[in-house]
Structures are given as structure tokens and as C-alpha cells.
Structure 1
Amino acid sequence: MTNTNVDTNIQNKENKAVYYISLMIVFAIAVWGLVFNDHFSNAANWLMAFLQVNFGWVYLMSMFVFVIVALMLGFSKYGKIKLGPDDSEPEFSTVSWFAMLFGAGMGIGLVFWGVAEPISHFVSHSSPGSTEAASFAMRASFKHWGFHPWANYSIIGLALAYFQFRKGYPALISSIFVPILGEKRVNGPIGKTIDILAVFATVAGVATSLGLGTMQINSGMSYVFGLPVNSIVQVGIIVIITILYIGTAVAGIEKGIKLLGDINLYLAGGLILLTFLVGPKLLMLNIFSEGMGTYLNNFIYDSLHMNIMGDNSWINGWTVFYWAWWIAWAPFVGSFIARISKGRTVKEFVLGVIIAPAMASFIWFAIFGGLGLSMIDKVGLEQLTEIAKIPETALFASYSHYSLGTILSFITLLLLCTFFITSANSATFVLGMFTSGGDLNPSTKKKVIWGLVQSLLATALLLSGGLKALQTASVAAAFPFIFIMLLACVSVFKAFGKEDI
């Protein structure tokens, strides 16, 4: 096994361009979104629509390839390769490792969409409120939150963990391409361009989630405690969350991020258990069984299905948008997962990053989807349709019809905040790494700066009404990452082929 020794100080100097260019791009996007909001929104919407209509098939096929490649690597002879030296051991316990990667990957999204997505499909189906609609709703939810997004994260995470811990390269997305491009090109303009794209995708994605998450927390507090929904409260929420996530990021992984990840896991586990106990238990169990069956039975068809000469608006609006969103998050989530995965084998990595989180997502959607679908017997189809129109309060609206609803809503608000902070502090840590030449322990200054940049961008666009446009723009702008990730697959196979197994 060969190692490449990289002097961190030299690498930091070489990558100052990544730091300053990234900041300038983020600043330019923020100004565009604030000053020319309508123009920014129109441009973002046009670009997203263009990509969905003309390249939806690229998103579908690529995400399917990521699943196949990840499973092949994990369950082939390469599965025994260590992500680090042969004698290395995992840095974190399996429980803490899973808690951190799950919280960074999609924790807050599950809380937001756990009830909202199933009931949205349920009431918008061609036969709303029917058994067929319920089956379709859960099948679609399982698809969007199952193996595909986690396999997508695993491509970057596995490749980066291998090259930084086993081969000794910096913790930069560009390091993945050394077998294809060579070190000279990776350290030149091509490599820097890849790293700048990764920084932009991370900042835009997390800033959007910060703003949208703030709106949900505000809506939940309004629903539960009667707090007004307005910009003053939302700015206050962002300030408090920012202080907490920068603080935990500065504290480091062991003292800050790991602790919060463990808290997330216990809160989420408690919420799932209590919701199951007070909710329609038989319906939830039936949903899990049938949902898994239809999901697995139709996996290949659903992964690649497009209406050849028909209407693809649902596929574009839901599946393609989700796939684009997960790809936009891949640089950040994949890099963070890589950072905490030293010492794992490839097989352990695949099981922990794809199989286990997907199963947790299936359980989550079975329980909360069941909670949402059962509402039709309590409020009727018309009222359920109205609830589905406001996804940020759908979960709280469901709880209001069950015993312990207030307690469950309070736990949900706590979980929203902790998941929120986990995603943001993980992103802050990763941005520090990306703009410090891949330093695994970036400086406090870098982490504080990026934490504030994300917060200020989210606040400005939230107040100006440009948050949705930023989300659309960030998802569309991540399109090049499809090809970066496909090349990452090639690079990993090329590097693994040289291992003495």
C-alpha cells in the first residue's frame, strides 16, 4: 500500500483560491436573490424545468447506477477493504456513527415529510382516499426516502473515506479523481473547480434547509403554543439555532456533533415509539409490510420509469426533484460521513450508510404515514386535503387528534431543533474542511465564518421571499455533480482493482 504525504500548510495555501472564490460566488448569488428576486426566481425555475423535462432520465438512471455500484462494492471481494490502514479501528461506536450520519443525511426532512408526503399523494391520486391511493402513497414515499438517497451519499462518502484515510490524500472532493486525472490536474484548476462546486452546493443547500426549517419550527410553535408566525420570530429562531450549531461545530466532532447526534437518536426513537403506541398500530404494521413488498417488488421499474409519450409532471415534480436535491446534498453529507468512517470496512460502510438508514426511513414512514392516512376517518377527505396543503403543520395537525398529542408535538419541536442543528453544524465543519485544503480539523475561524454565511444567507432570502428560489437554484446547479459522481464510481473501481485482496 502506498501513501501520499501532503503537507497541510502547503495545501491550505494552494486552496485559498477555493475559499475566496466560493465566498464571492455565494455573495453574488445572495445579492442576485435579494436585489433581483423576481429575475432570480424566474431564472431558477426555468433552469429547473429545463433539466427536469430534458434530463429527467439522466437523474433516474444515475441514481439507479449509484445503488447498484454501492451494493456491488459492499458485497463483493472489495467489501473487506478497510477505510484506513489495515490495523485501523473505528473512531466512533456504531450507535454514535449511525446517529451522526443519519442526522446529517436527512433527519429534519423525515420530520417535515413523514406525514405530509403520504397524505399529499393520498389526496391527489386519481382515486383520492381509496385503498389504491393509500398503497401508491406509501410506495412513493418509500421510494423517495429509501435506498436511492443513501446510495447517492455513499458514493462520495466511500470514495472520499478511502482516498483520505487509506491513501493519505486531503479530505477534498477533488482527491477522489487522482486515479483518473493524476495529482497535477487534481491540484490545478480542474480540481479547484470541483471543490468550489462542492462548496456552493453545500452552502446553498444548507442555507435553504435552515430557512425552510425555521419556517416549520415557527409554524409548529404557532400550532402548539400560539406563537405568531412572522419574520421577527423567525429571525429569533435563526439566531438561537445559529449560536447552537456554530458552538457545537467549534467544539468539534467528539464533544459537540457526536453528543448532539446521540441526543437525536434517543429523541427520534422515543417519538417513534410513543407515536406507534398512541396511533393506529395495525394500520402502521400493515403499511410497513405492504410498503416494503411493493417497494422491493417494483424497485427496478420505479427506479427507471418515465411515461414515454405521456404526462411526466408528477415524476418531474416529485422523484426527479428529490433525486436532484439528494445529489445537491451529496458533497456535504458524503464528506461528513467520510470524516466519521475511518476504520470501517467497505461492507460495514455500505450496511451502515445505505441499508440501516433506509430501514429506519421505512419504519418512520410506516408509522407517521399511518398516522396521516388514518386522519381521513377523523376529518374526512376534504379537510385532509387542506391539511396536505400546509406540509409544515401536517404532523402537528395529526397529533391534535390523538392522546398525548401536546407532549408528542413538544418532542417533535425539540427533535426538529436538534436535527436542524446537526445538519447545520455538520455542514459548517465540512465547509471548513473544503476551504482549508482538506484539513480534518479546520480552524475555529473558518467554521465561524461559514456558520455565519449560511445563517445570513438564509435570513436574507427568507425575509425577501427568495428562499424557494434558492432551493430551486441550488438543486439545478448541482446537475454537474451527476457526472462528477459517475466518474467517482469509475475512480473507485480503478483504485480498488489495485488492492491486494
Structure 2
Amino acid sequence: MLNSNTVESTSAASNSAYNAIHPPERLRQLAAKLEMNNPVFWISGSFLTLFVLLALTHPVTLSSVVDSGFQLATRYFGAFWQILLLANFVIGLALCFGRTGDVRLGDLNTPDVTNFKWLSIVLCTLLAGGGVFWAAAEPIAHFVSPPPLFGSQDAKTNAINALSQSFVHWGFLAWAVLGCLSSIVLMHLHYDKGLPLKPRTLLYPLLGEKAIKGGIGNTVDALSIIAVAAGTIGPIGFLGLQISYAMQELFGTTDTFITQAIVVVVAMVFYTLSALSGVNRGIQLVSRYNIILTVALIVFILFAGPTGFIIDSYVQGLGQMIDQFVPMALYRGNPEWLGWWTVFFWGWFIGYAPMMAIFIARISRGRTIRQLVLAISIAAPLVTCFWFTIVGGSGLAFELENPGVIQAGFEGFNMPGALLAITQQLPFPTLISILFLILTTTFIVTTGDSMTYTITMVISGDKEPNATIRAFWGIIMGAVAIVLISLGSGGISALQSFIVITAVPASFIIAPSLWYAPKIANQMAKQQRL
């Protein structure tokens, strides 16, 4: 005869087995909120998990594989990417200044986001943390090692050439690929035709229903999420490394993993809370204050820094970029240099492009093609180039006046070192350094919240994803960044390089827009009787 303990043990075992097969209602609800039945969730989530596990267990092997993939991608697809970006920009201008420029997108007669808020979100999201550290580091990098297209000349000419090369990498072509032609296609197919606001929809004009349903669509969405997650986690991790280094230089704190992790956690909390509040609240608010701080620093440096050099070098650098635009955009003379500079940046931006196009489409309803192109392909690049002149141009002026003062801080490609070397030459150096670090953090927060929101929108298919899935992806990206920085800069660098590999499929996702965006724009012009 069974005793009571045996009966209880048997009952407990039965309950455990039943719960394993039939999870409690609360777990089923959580799984539903996280879209765990969605193949896109499993493909993208599994890849990030595998990447982290390999980084922890086989870092050398992972680094070798990523480096090999990076080299293959830049070698065999670099020329294609250069042509793709140039064609994307030129076709966008043609649509902007033709009769299609008056076509109104998004099935609304007036924009649903004000101009200032819209431009703030666009600038802050697309610039990300690169808008601060790269603005300080890239001009001095090209000054120290002149681009092969120009070669080494006198110091003043080298400085202008350095700015001009930086303008190409962060100017018209980079911005245009992130949100013009592909956004036109998405806005028409989503708002006018009712197709999902997902990367797969970019292939609908080419593949029809095959792109929307089944394996092709799931794969396209997952690849786009992996690319933008890698491109977002990388800057989040670098933020921890760079802010920790800067705090050590400024305040004598210890540059350790704990400090780096705390920085990432703080950023993660802010961008996750911002993403939870949505586009119309947190994302707009953070972007607004980000722009206000940026403008304040611009005004201060413009008048307290080397004013004459800033204005002259901006005009000369911009003029040279326009004069040498096509040769600089299509330069193929030094493959090794291209792989570490132009083609690297093009791969990085292309990897972002499908998801950025979705975000731009989400916040740009009611705007015309002309407004979209002028803002993203013209105005934003000009502002970005001026910002690079304010930060990096000031550094070049200080370097010309006192050789070595900026180069010493930048030695070893130390990007935060270059920024601090510049701020130390300005009045109130400690205060300005702190403000730049705050600005860097808010830039990362605006990118983190926007991409968290966009990733969850793609997975869930909802314009306002539930709070659970937003919080999950926000925390996951921060957690992955922390795990990778625990390995040193190598783990984050591997992930950052990986986005260039993801640009290979991403480039084929956005390429059809070169043909279909003009076709759609002309159809809409006829429908709107323009």
C-alpha cells in the first residue's frame, strides 16, 4: 500500500510533467507578448545568443571568422555599395525636384509630427554616438594619414582634405541611403496598400506575395533585425568603454569593467523607458533636448573656439567635396584604405538601412517626397558636416597652431582621447567635456530607443508594440553589450564589424527601391493629379 509521501511525490511529478507540456497561463501570456511563436523572434534571438556564446567560449575563432567575412564583404561588394549609394542619392534628387516632389506620402494631408520634432528625431537617431566621437576623431585621422586620393600636401591643405573626406563619409550619400527611396516604397505599400511595415515589404514589388508570406519574408526581417541590433549594441558597448575612459581622464575614476557596465546600464534604462513611452512622448522628448544641447555646444565653440577657421574650413571643405564628389564617391585606388574607411562606412549604413527606412516611414506620414529628400539627403548632411567642422575642425585648428596637441591624444586611434584633447583647448574645459559626454549618451539613447521601438514593431507587426516586448529587447541589447565589453574592446569590435557582413543581404533588400521608388512616385503623382 502506498504511503502519503509516495502519493505526494507521484502527484508532484505528474504536475511537473503536465506543466512542462501545458505551461501555466501566465507563461503562455508572456510568450504571446514576446511573440515567441514568431520565427523572426527565434531567428534573430538565436543568432544574438549564439554570437554571445561564441564570444565567451571561442573569442579568437569568432574574431577570425568575422574578420574573414569582413574582408570578403568589403573586397567583393565594396564597388557595388559605392554605386548603390551614389545612385540612391541621385535618383532621390531627381524625384525631389521633378513633379513627383509634391507627392504626399502616408495617406495623410498634413504631417502628424511637427517639423522641429521630426527633424530632431531624424538627426539624433541617424547620427547616433558617431556624431560625437567620430566627429572628433575622423578629421584628425585623415590629417595624420592623408586619404590616398589627395596624398600628403601642406598642413593647411591636408586639414581641408581631411574635413572633405569626413564630409563624404557622413554626408549626402550616407544619409540618403538611410531613409529616402526605401521609405517612399514602404510608405506607399503600407499606408496605401495595407502591407506590413516590415523590411520584407521592400521586396514585394519584385517578388509579390512570396516576399510577404513564408520563409523569404521571415528571413529578410530577421536579417534586418540582426543587422540593426549589431549596429546598435556596438555603439552602446563602445559608449561604456569610452565614457569610462573619459571619466578616468577627467575625474581619476578607475577605468574598469564595473564602471563600463554601470554606464551601459544607465543608458539602457533611459533608452528602454523612452522606447516604452513611444514615438510621441519619450523618443521626441529625448531628441528635443539632444538637439538643444547640440545647438548650445555649437554656439559656444563657434564663438569661443577658432571661429574664422571653422567658417573658412567648412566652406572650403564643402566646396571641395562637391567639386570632387563623384571621384571621392567612386574612388577604388587603394582597396586596403577603402576597406577601413569608405566601404566600411557604406557597409555600416547599408546594414542599418532597412530598419531605418521603417522608422522614417513611421514618423514621416503626411510629408511630401520633396520634404523627405530635402530634409534627409540635403539638410541633415549639411548640418552634420557643420557639426564635424565645429568639433573636428576645431581640433585641426588647434593642431595647426600647436602641432601634436590633438594628435597625441588621438594616438592609437583613441577616439575619446581625441575629443578630450579638443575640449581641453577650449574655455571651461572640464564643463565642456562633461557636456560632450552627456551629449554622447543622449545620442546613444535616441538611437537605442528608436531601434528598440522599430525592432519590436517589426516582430509584433503593431505600430505600438506592447510594453513587455519593448522592455525585453531594450534590456537584451544592453545585456549583450555588457557581456561583450567584459571581454574587452575585441568583443564589441567583432560585433561592430559584423554589421558590415550583414550589409551584403541588406544591400539586396534595398536595391530594388532604385527602380520601384520612381515608379511608385510617378503612379502617385498621377493619382494625386500633379
TM tier, shorter chain? over 0.9
262-271 vs 126-135, greater mean Cα deviation: 126-135
- How big is each residue's C-alpha offset from its partner over 1:427-460, in whole Å with a ceiling of 9 and x where there is no partner? 10001111012x1111111111111111111111
For 1:3, the equivalent position in structure 2 comes to: none
For 1:5, the equivalent position in structure 2 comes to: none
Q: Provide the aligned C-alpha RMSD in A.
A: 2.0
**1:96-245 to 2 correspondences below 5 Å:** 96-125=117-146, 127=152, 130-154=155-179, 155-245=181-271
Paired residue type of 1:318: W
Work out whether 1:76 is the aligned partner of 2:98.
yes
372-381 vs 483-492, greater mean Cα deviation: 372-381
Q: Which secondary structure state, in structure 2, belongs to the residue aligned with residue 374 of structure 1?
A: helix
Question: 2: distance between equivalents of 1:359 and 1:25?
Answer: 37
Paired residue type of 1:237: V
420-429 vs 133-142, greater mean Cα deviation: 133-142
For 2:48, the equivalent position in structure 1 comes to: 26
Q: 1:419 aligns with which of 443, 454, 457?
A: 443
119-128 vs 373-382, greater mean Cα deviation: 373-382
Q: Which secondary structure state, in structure 2, belongs to the residue aligned with residue 208 of structure 1?
A: helix
Question: 2: distance between equivalents of 1:239 and 1:366?
Answer: 32
Kept in 1: contact 2:105–2:369 (CA 8 A)? yes
Kept in 2: contact 1:150–1:357 (CA 8 A)? yes
Question: 2: distance between equivalents of 1:200 and 1:64?
Answer: 25
Question: 1: distance between equivalents of 2:152 and 2:379?
Answer: 34
Paired residue type of 2:515: V
Q: 2:433 aligns with which of 399, 409, 416?
A: 409
How far 1:24 sits from its partner (Å)? 1.3
**1:258-277 to 2 correspondences below 5 Å:** 258-277=284-303
Question: 1: distance between equivalents of 2:408 and 2:428?
Answer: 24
Kept in 1: contact 2:55–2:62 (CA 8 A)? yes
Kept in 2: contact 1:15–1:192 (CA 8 A)? no
How far 1:312 sits from its partner (Å)? 2.6
TM-score, scaled relative to structure 1: 0.93
For 2:11, the equivalent position in structure 1 comes to: none
For 1:7, the equivalent position in structure 2 comes to: none
Paired residue type of 2:464: N
Question: 1: distance between equivalents of 2:423 and 2:36?
Answer: 53
For 1:433, the equivalent position in structure 2 comes to: 457
Question: 1: distance between equivalents of 2:460 and 2:37?
Answer: 7
- How big is each residue's C-alpha offset from its partner over 1:295-338, in whole Å with a ceiling of 9 and x where there is no partner? 1011111111111xxx3322221101011111111123222111
Alpha-carbon spacing, 1:164–1:14, altered in 2? closer, same or farther (3 Å): farther
- How big is each residue's C-alpha offset from its partner over 1:42-85, in whole Å with a ceiling of 9 and x where there is no partner? 11111111222233211211111111122122222222221122
Paired residue type of 1:347: R
Aligned positions, number: 486
Paired residue type of 2:213: N
Alpha-carbon spacing, 1:185–1:347, altered in 2? closer, same or farther (3 Å): same
Question: 2: distance between equivalents of 1:364 and 1:227?
Answer: 29
Structure 2: where are the runs of 5+ without partners?
Answer: 1-31
Work out whether 1:336 is the aligned partner of 2:355.
no
For 1:376, the equivalent position in structure 2 comes to: 399
Alpha-carbon spacing, 1:451–1:383, altered in 2? closer, same or farther (3 Å): closer
Greater Rg by CA:
2
For 2:421, the equivalent position in structure 1 comes to: 397
- How big is each residue's C-alpha offset from its partner over 1:134-168, in whole Å with a ceiling of 9 and x where there is no partner? 12201101111110111111233332223222332
- How big is each residue's C-alpha offset from its partner over 1:204-230, in whole Å with a ceiling of 9 and x where there is no partner? 111111101222222222222222211
Please identify runs of 4+ aligned residues in structure 1 that moved more than 4 A: 12-15
Q: Which secondary structure state, in structure 1, belongs to the residue aligned with residue 446 of structure 2?
A: helix
Work out whether 1:250 is the aligned partner of 2:288.
no
Paired-residue identity, %: 30
Work out whether 1:458 is the aligned partner of 2:481.
yes
Work out whether 1:367 is the aligned partner of 2:393.
no
- How big is each residue's C-alpha offset from its partner over 1:103-153, in whole Å with a ceiling of 9 and x where there is no partner? 110142110111211111111235387123112201101111110111111
